[in-house]
Amino acid sequence: MLSIVLGSLALLSLGLASWQWLEGRLFPLHRRVAEPSFAPAVTLLKPLKGGDAETAACLRSWLAQEYARPVQVLFGVTSTDDPVCATVNALLCEFPHADAELVVCPDRLGVNAKVSKLAQLEPRARHGVLVISDADVRVPPDFLANLMAPLRDPGVGLVNPFYQLANPTTTAMRWEALAVNADFWTSVLQSCRLGPMRFALGAVMAVRRERLAAIGGFTALANHLADDYELGRRVAADGARIALCPVVAECREAPQGWGAVWQHQLRWARTIRVCQPLPYAFSLVTNITLWTALWWLSNPTTVTTTLAAAALLLRVLTAADSQRRLTRSLAHLSWCWLAAVKDLLQAVLWALSFLGHTVEWRGERYRVTRRGELVKLAS
């Protein structure tokens, strides 16, 4: 009986994963707009803290946008002592004609320091569309023109693109890159097939200013861990649609080891579990490697060995194809075997997400409430 149950779960996970891969194949990834005639004036909000070797190139890509209408860029820092200020000032000299400035945001309006900066930048914005982007995001020169295209539809209130982890330099980062570059974006498309999108992807978000004002502005999100999810949820609840831009952004990070990557993944797992408890609970069903391995261990015959090997091979091949489509690179194929390792570690993270409510973020420990808000814990 145990073998039958585990075999059924293995077959179900194989079917769900194959459907997820197919959704990725059907989506028009990287497709550009033919004539970017729709170009509303944009204010870009960039909350910053610290920096690394990738920061200058990432910020430069936004100042070098080929866009037909005005673009205002607001870089937000907590203090002029932040080392990223030197990088920003150098870029402002490099682009003297850009409508850009460095803004000090000294007030702490909530536990989420990033959103606190956004709330202080918001009153300085002059245009009707706000683009929020993380510091480590690099984009192509035509990115804004493509990001704005879905807003031609007045019913769309928020647009976000998919993103890739573009420079995984350690084994731990490659494991995390597989989770994002192969599985995350295809799982988003799978959920969109079941119903309208009701969350946002945090790397880049473009939101109509009136929609943001209707939900209380950034101040209303200042205590939330998943501010991107909460922003999308509230915009959708207010009656607007959330759209996907097919042009992919790049997230470029400094080298990280297993400890930092594990903490990031655990924070992400507990965040998703709080935001979407039921879907996250059932997400384990899609873990091909876990159910296939348990099925084989329960009944290690020649037939189950052959079928398990075929299922694992399919898992690696579909992960490699999804990652190749997102990154448009073959450089990652040599370590796509990590997909099986990623699945097993993901099962551990899934269990740990239900066994605690604390997360570590930028060196501080927090408790995540049932509403997704952060409560800072004593050091």
Q: Taking the CB of residue 379, how many other CB atoms lie within 10 A of it? A: 6
Q: What is the pLDDT of residues 95-109, one digit of tens each?
A: 999 999 999 999 999
CA separation for the pair 144, 198 (Å, rounded): 22
Q: What is the pLDDT of residues 43-87, one digit of tens each?
A: 999 999 998 889 999 999 999 999 999 999 999 999 999 999 999
Dig out the tokens for 20 from the structure. 């997820």
Cα end-to-end span (Å), the chain: 49
pLDDT value for 193: 94
**In this structure, are residues 215 and 133 in contact, taking their beta carbons and an 8 Å threshold?**
no
**In this structure, are residues 75 and 103 in contact, taking their beta carbons and an 8 Å threshold?**
yes
pLDDT value for 379: 61
SS3 321: helix
By residue count, the chain amounts to 379
Q: Which band of pLDDT confidence, cut at 50, 70 and 90, is reported for residue 374?
A: confident
Q: What are the chain's domains?
A: 2-26+272-372 (no CATH), 42-266 (3.90.550.10)
137 forms bridges with which residues in the sheet?
251
| Residue bearing tokens 């207010």 | 238
- What is the average per-residue pLDDT within 246-256? 94
pLDDT value for 333: 81
**In this structure, are residues 60 and 91 in contact, taking their beta carbons and an 8 Å threshold?**
yes
Helix (H) or strand (E) holding 9: helix 2-26
Contacts of 204 (CB under 8 A, 6+ apart): 131, 132, 133, 134, 137, 139, 147, 160, 161, 163, 249
Which letter, b or e, does each residue of 254-285 get, where b requires 16 or more Cβ atoms within 10 Å of its Cβ? eebeeebbbebbbbbbbbbbbbbeeebeebee
pLDDT value for 143: 97
The alpha carbons of the chain give a radius of gyration, in whole angstroms, of: 21
Helix (H) or strand (E) holding 231: helix 227-237
Q: What pTM value is reported for the model? A: 0.92
Q: What is the mean pLDDT of the chain?
A: 93
**In this structure, are residues 20 and 48 in contact, taking their beta carbons and an 8 Å threshold?**
no
Sheet holding 42-47, edge to edge: 99-104, 71-77, 42-47, 129-133, 204-208, 156-165, 241-251, 137-138
- What is the average per-residue pLDDT within 171-181? 93
What residue ranges in the chain does DSSP mark as E strands? 42-47, 71-77, 99-104, 129-133, 137-138, 156-165, 204-208, 241-251, 358-361, 364-368, 374-376
Among the residue ranges 152-166, 346-360, 361-375, the one predicted with the least confidence is 361-375
Which letter, b or e, does each residue of 187-202 get, where b requires 16 or more Cβ atoms within 10 Å of its Cβ? bbbbbeeeeebbbbbb
**In this structure, are residues 191 and 199 in contact, taking their beta carbons and an 8 Å threshold?**
no
Express the helix, strand and coil content of the chain in percent, nearest 5 each: 50, 15, 30
**In this structure, are residues 29 and 162 in contact, taking their beta carbons and an 8 Å threshold?**
yes
207 forms bridges with which residues in the sheet?
130, 158
CA separation for the pair 42, 130 (Å, rounded): 6
CA separation for the pair 119, 222 (Å, rounded): 8
Where helices occur in 258-364 by DSSP H, the ranges are: 258-275, 277-282, 288-298, 302-327, 338-353
List, as own/partner pairs, every contact residues 88-91 make where C-beta atoms lie below 8 angstroms and the sequence separation is at least 24, other chains included: 88/48, 88/59, 90/56, 91/56, 91/59, 91/60, 91/63
Q: Is pLDDT at 215 greater than 90 in this prediction?
A: yes
Q: Which band of pLDDT confidence, cut at 50, 70 and 90, is reported for residue 371?
A: confident
Q: Which band of pLDDT confidence, cut at 50, 70 and 90, is reported for residue 364?
A: confident
